[in-house]
Amino acid sequence: MKRVIFVLLLLQTFVLADESRVEFLLDKLKERGPHDYAMIIAHRGDWRYAPENSMRGFANCIKSGFDAIEVDVRMTKDSVLVIMHDETVNRTTNGKGKVSELTYEEIKKLRLKTPTNYVSDQSVPTFEEVLNLAKGQILVYVDKWQAHKEAVLELVHRLRMDRQILLAGSTNMESDAYRLVRQYPEVNYVPFLQCNGKNDEKRFSELRDKMQPVGFYIAFPSDTYPILKETKSYSEYGQRLWVDTLLGKCCNGGRNDQLALKDAEESYGWLLDHGFTVFFTDDPHGVAKFLKSRNMR
Q: CA 287: distance to chain centroid?
A: 14
Residue-wise pLDDT for 91-129, tens only, equals: 999 999 999 999 999 999 999 999 999 999 999 999 999
Cβ proximity of 269 and 290 under 8 Å: yes
Element (H, E) at 72: strand 68-75
Strands (E), 162-211: 165-169, 188-194
**How much is the mean pLDDT over the chain?**
94
How high is the pLDDT of residue 18? 60
Tell me the β-bridge partners of 188.
166
**Measured between alpha carbons, how far is 97 from 119 in angstroms, rounded to an integer?**
17
| 295 has pLDDT over 90 | yes
Summarised one tens digit per residue, pLDDT across range 160-203 is: 999 999 999 999 999 999 999 999 999 999 999 999 999 999 99
DSSP of 256-285: SHHHHHH-HIIIIIHHHHTTEEEEEES-HH
**Every domain of the chain and the residues it spans:** 2-74+134-293
Residues near 285 by Cβ (< 8 Å), separated by ≥ 6? 46, 48, 64
Q: Give the pLDDT confidence score for residue 84 in this predicted structure.
A: 98
pLDDT beyond 60 at 292: yes
- Say whether pLDDT at 144 is over 70: yes
Per-residue pLDDT of 8-49, as tens digits, reads 444 444 444 566 999 999 999 999 999 999 999 999 999 999
What confidence score (pLDDT) does residue 14 get? 44
What does the pLDDT read at residue 1? Answer: 55
Task: Give, in order, the Cα–Cα distances in Å from 230 to each of 93, 224, 261.
Answer: 44, 12, 27
The confidence score (pLDDT) of residue 7 equals: 42
Q: Residue 16: its pLDDT value, please?
A: 47
Length of the chain: 297
The one-letter code for the residue type at 212 is Q
CATH architecture designation of domain 2-74+134-293? Alpha-Beta Barrel (3.20)
pLDDT (0 to 100) of residue 9: 45
